[in-house]
Structures are given as structure tokens and as C-alpha cells.
Structure 1
């Protein structure tokens, strides 16, 4: 089963597509996103992006009669989910939006890793832990079959196989895998929740810069900053505090991109539309209701867009 969709707004330039003769479907994505050194490129030009997470897209698309307040969408059948994802991918391509598709969740939500283990247990396999997802050959076979089914699926709308569709920027093998024996993450989260807003922002900047430096010097790969946000339900937290966190994260991303660094874009958690009360978790951003936040996000997209143009001009001068 499909587990989630991470949805990215494009911040690239020069995207031109062609119609699919069998369906008159037009994909305006300019081409597959590639990697050169520590940066992303599309058709030889630098690629940056600004976007958001929307794990609900496929489930809502799979059931046109369901609202975001209903739990029925979470029990949509596999064929409905496939057609729902077809719709999401085809619409993204039509509007110049890249996607990152997550192939399975680390948690039980959306039929994640524990579900695969449960299927094996029902079959009589001796599995005692969700971590048998990584060890048991039967469970691993389930996952491999799932991956093959998804990447070779032919979109019923665009008539393009998923593996051949440039709309899909990347595949996430598993969402948020982690070592449960390492308590440092949970400990850090508790400590951060007790810090002042200024202390949190200072840590965010330092933490991001450390990862930028490691990505450039050690990993030597592009870097994405994903699922960041601030809950309005936290004590002492409101829209101004959330806006400050977004600005700090966006400034780190832009600063790296401006200097040719590896941090190429960000994905905040999470974007909703008005009326999706059932999905609100305190982190939700509703653009029509949050004008200050909307402006910050829009400005980030604009300056990344302009940065691509500047890099193209520099590249042209160098070649000339």
C-alpha cells in the first residue's frame, strides 16, 4: 500500500513539457532532477525548491466523497489509493510541482512497517518485533514486491510509468527510520521544549549550519531540510513565534544556496486548507487564514526563484 506523499513546490526555472499523445496530458516539469557535486540540477541549471509535507493528499484523492474530517479516507481500498496517487502525480506534473514519494512509514499510520510484520505473523512466521521488518526474509519480500509494484505502475491518467515520470523528484525508502535504542533524540526533544524561543532559534541555526558543513565536507551530497515547524499548541507559542522559526529555517536554506552550499530547499510541516479540522495537529499552516506566514513562505519561494536566474547568468558569463 502507498504510505504517504511529500509534496514540494518547485522553485526552478525553464520548465517546459510536452503533451502525451495518448491522453492529451501535458506535463510541464522540465526534466528529471539530477545531482552535480553537492547541488541539484535540472537540464544543467541549478535547482532549489520551497515546499511542504502533505501526507493526506493521496487518501483524500482516493475518495472523492470523503472530507478531511472523515476517517473513511484512511480505509480506502488499494485500487482506490492507486488511482488517488495517479491523480496527485498527474496534477502535480500539470502544475510544475515535484513530488517525493515515501514507500513505507516507520510507524503504524497509513499501513507502515508494523503492518508488514503483522502480515508475516498472520502467515505463521516467527516474528516478535517490528524490527523484523529488516531481518525476516518473508517481510523483506513483501516490501520489495510493494516497491516494484509502485515504481512500475503506469499512471492511469498520464499513461506514464512512475519510474519514467520526472514529476517524482525522489523515492523515500522509509519515512523517519530511527534507532529506538538511542535516546538522544527523545532527550533532546524534551530539553528543547523547555528552552525559550530565542534559545530554540539559536540552536536551530547552529544545528543547521553544522549539517550544512558536514554535508559539504564529509557526505558530499545535496541536503534537504524537511518536516520543520512549530506547534501553536505549545506553551508560549503563537503565530509570531512560528513565523520567527520559519524565517530562521528559510534564512539558513537561502544562505547556503546563495553561497553554493549543499542545502537546496525545505519542506515545512504541514500545509492544510480551510475546513480540514480533522487533520489539525497544532503545526498546520492554512495560507488563507495566516497572512503573515503566507508572506514568509511566498518570499522564500521568490528569492530562491531569483537565485536560480542569477546562477544561470553567472554560468552563461563563465562559458562566454
Structure 2
């Protein structure tokens, strides 16, 4: 097929570091350079697609040609990641503005659902640059949590009612239980589908290429960490609607775009209160399994005693990996650890502090990935959470405030510098680079 465009061709991500091409370029026919699933493997053509990835939720915000955007910084960050051997980014292709106090603004849609053209074009620019470097992206279509608006905001648009995460009047698991009502709300799902259709059928304004034909897209992801509920009672109550939403949404995406994978964005058993059957059923019509691992958030380690608690945390991390490799094998599908995060030593936020125990945690994940690569197992790669790059906290308390533009991997509701890796974290960067070298990606 022939593609004409105004700028760089994001097209064949199989051509790593693609050069500037003429205004019209001929792309090869066929699907060989799309990332595909073959049994428990991810493939690109006849080559296993090993992922050394990062989370960079804010790529579209930097890519926007708007006062809040910073395209030169986006280019610098992508260059840094490429130099480390990172070949896949998980980024937000959504953001719903509304009343939730901890949500990032602007979003892809305003409070009344009106699209923000600058934000969509920011994603276009980011995807063009990702594709030009031979990288791929997982595009996340909503969020179970509040920091990008997400499903709770769609419920508010449908019903006029909402709940803030962390509201003392609604302690855990009230927020998760309330957000899971989304799956059975027909109007909220209609609003979700409107954004999905807008995104999946979009043509990139930079490359002139439909997203459905862009080899820089690895998968469409239904949402970030969509749970069926927080309590066991809510999980049981919402199960049928939850599975129905997953199956219907996956089918809708495939009807609009038969070229790309569909992923769920699920945490794994931690997002189902340990119920393996929920994880297995949720992924019945999904192309690959995902797992997220958060030892501090899940109380596997103590931030003020990493030395004393890390041995137990390491054991639990290894066990979690084993469980999800087993589930992936049962499903006959690949597995990605698409989020894993760990605090800096002493649970500090400054880039000047050390990362000894974070490096140990990453090494645990990477050892499992490399063992799977060597054995032909289902664990095809991972995406660390997250990339901070050159951003630095703007305030002494390390909190994000409305109007701040130094976006980093730690979302606006979290301390800035909590989990993200900075461009000055030499030990972390060397660890990721060595992992990429083992995978043959540098």
C-alpha cells in the first residue's frame, strides 16, 4: 500500500531507526511486521518479539503542540530509552476530565466528553516518533484508577455521581467497588466505546497512516488495571458484567482493527483477590496475559526497612511470577510483566538517593524473563514503571500541583520520584541496558 504523509513515516517498526523518507512511501504488503501471537510466543514475522519496555503514560501530553506540551523533551526521552535498548512503551491513549480531584488535566476529552484535538495530535506525534525509532507501543484506552479520570469519570458522566479515591468517608475497597459498577452501566459503556472508536479508527495527523495499519502499535489495551471489584462480594456481583465488557470490547476492537493485539491491562491475581479462575476467564478472548507487581503497595516490603524485608519480598515476587507463568501456560498465551515498581532506598524521592534494592527487584524480574527467553517459555518481556527521564519534582514536598508541566512516570496523585527512574540513575540504566543486550536488542 502507498502512504502519503506530512512528516516522518511511523510505518514499519520492523525497520529500526527508520530514516526520514520522502513524502510518499510504499509500505510492504502483509502483516509480517505487526506483532502477533503464536501460541505462548509474541512474534514479529518469524522472530520472537522480546520486550524490554517502560511505562511512559505521559507521552501524548509531551507530544501536544500546546502550552502544556514539550516535543523537544519527548524526542530527548525517546532517544534515551532507545539508547538503553527499550523497544516498547506503554502509554495512555485516554484521559477523561471530570470532578475527580486527583485527575490529570487536560485530558483527551473534556468534562462533557468533547475531544481535545491537541491531545489526540500529541499522541499522533508521539506515535510517529516511537515508530521512527523502530519501537512499539501499548495504547491504553481508559483507567480503573482516578489519576487519568478513567471509568469512574465515565460513570459520573452517565449518572452524575462519583467517588474520589482516598476519600476518608469511603475507605478501601469502596472506590474499587464503586468503579466496578461501570461494567453494567450501559450509558457509561457507550461513552467508553465512543472514545475507543475515535481512537482505533483515527488516522495519524503526522504520518497520514491509520492507527489500524501502524506497525508501531503493538496492542490496544482495554484499561489500566480493570478490576471486577475490590471486595469479594463485588467481584462475585460484577463477574458476569465484567466478562461481558471484556469480550464485547475485544470483539469491537478487532472489528475495527484486525491487525493488532488486544490486551486487558490486568494486574493478575492481585487484581482479583487471589482468584485464579477470574484471571483465566477474563483473558479467554484476550491475546496475552499481563501481570503487575508492586511489593511496597502490597505490603510485601517496608519502605523504611528494605534491607530487613527484601528477602521476603523477593520470595513473594518470584512466587507471583511462577503463578502467572503457570496461568499463561494454561491459557496457551504469552505473558508480559507490564508494570513493576519499587521505591528508592529509604523510600525517598530525590534522584540523589541510591537504588540498591530497586536494582535487586529489577534483577529478579529480569532473571525470570531471561530464563523464559532461554527456555522458550511464555514470559516474553516486561515494562518497568516508570520513566521519569529529565523531569524533576517542582516542589520541596514532591507533590504534583495543577499547572505543573514536568511530567514524570509517577502520576500526579503520587509523590514525584517515588517509583520512576531518572536519567541520572546510572545503576538502573546500566541494568536495563544489560538486560536488553541479553535479549539481543542493542
The 5 Å alignment of 1:27-42 reads: 31-42=33-44
Asked if the contact 2:345/2:357 (under 8 Å) is kept, the reply is: no
Per the normalisation by structure 1, the TM-score is 0.79
The 5 Å alignment of 1:55-134 reads: 55-66=57-68, 74-75=105-106, 78-122=116-160, 129-134=178-183
**For residue 428 of structure 2, what is the aligned residue in structure 1?**
293
Structure 2 gap ranges (5+): 1-12, 71-101, 109-115, 162-176, 234-268, 274-294, 303-307, 394-399, 401-407, 409-415
Q: 1:110 to 1:191 in 2, by over 3 A?
A: closer
Asked if the contact 2:16/2:132 (under 8 Å) is kept, the reply is: no
**For residue 361 of structure 2, what is the aligned residue in structure 1?**
245
Q: Which of residues 46, 49, 66 in structure 2 aligns to 1:47?
A: 49
**For residue 168 of structure 2, what is the aligned residue in structure 1?**
none
The 5 Å alignment of 1:277-316 reads: 277=393, 278=400, 279=408, 280-287=416-423, 289-305=424-440
**For residue 222 of structure 1, what is the aligned residue in structure 2?**
334
**For residue 219 of structure 2, what is the aligned residue in structure 1?**
170
Q: Shift of the alpha carbon at 1:17?
A: 6.4
Q: Shift of the alpha carbon at 1:282?
A: 1.1
Q: Shift of the alpha carbon at 1:292?
A: 1.1
Aligned residues: 287
2:208 corresponds to 1:159: yes
RMSD, matched Cα: 3.4
**For residue 277 of structure 2, what is the aligned residue in structure 1?**
none
Q: Which of residues 309, 314, 338 in structure 2 aligns to 1:196?
A: 309
Q: 1:234 to 1:192 in 2, by over 3 A?
A: farther
CA distance in 2, matches of 1:299, 1:101: 26
Q: Shift of the alpha carbon at 1:16?
A: 8.6
Q: Shift of the alpha carbon at 1:256?
A: 0.7
1:236-255 per-position Cα deviation (integer Å, ceiling 9, x unaligned):
99411111111111010010
Per the normalisation by structure 2, the TM-score is 0.58
CA distance in 2, matches of 1:25, 1:227: 36
What secondary structure is seen at the aligned counterpart in 1 of 2:215? coil
1:45-104 per-position Cα deviation (integer Å, ceiling 9, x unaligned):
111010110111111222553378xx9972256111100000011110101110000000
Q: 1:129 to 1:210 in 2, by over 3 A?
A: closer
CA distance in 2, matches of 1:182, 1:228: 25
Asked if the contact 2:104/2:149 (under 8 Å) is kept, the reply is: no
Q: Which of residues 222, 230, 250 in structure 2 aligns to 1:180?
A: 230
CA distance in 2, matches of 1:79, 1:103: 16
**For residue 315 of structure 1, what is the aligned residue in structure 2?**
none
CA distance in 2, matches of 1:249, 1:51: 12
Q: 1:63 to 1:40 in 2, by over 3 A?
A: same
Structure 1 gap ranges (5+): 1-11, 308-320
1:94-151 per-position Cα deviation (integer Å, ceiling 9, x unaligned):
011100000001122222101111111249xxxx943332112211111111111100
Q: Which of residues 262, 266, 285 in structure 1 aligns to 2:382?
A: 266
Asked if the contact 1:17/1:26 (under 8 Å) is kept, the reply is: no
Asked if the contact 1:48/1:264 (under 8 Å) is kept, the reply is: yes
CA distance in 2, matches of 1:16, 1:57: 19
2:138 corresponds to 1:138: no
CA distance in 2, matches of 1:267, 1:64: 28
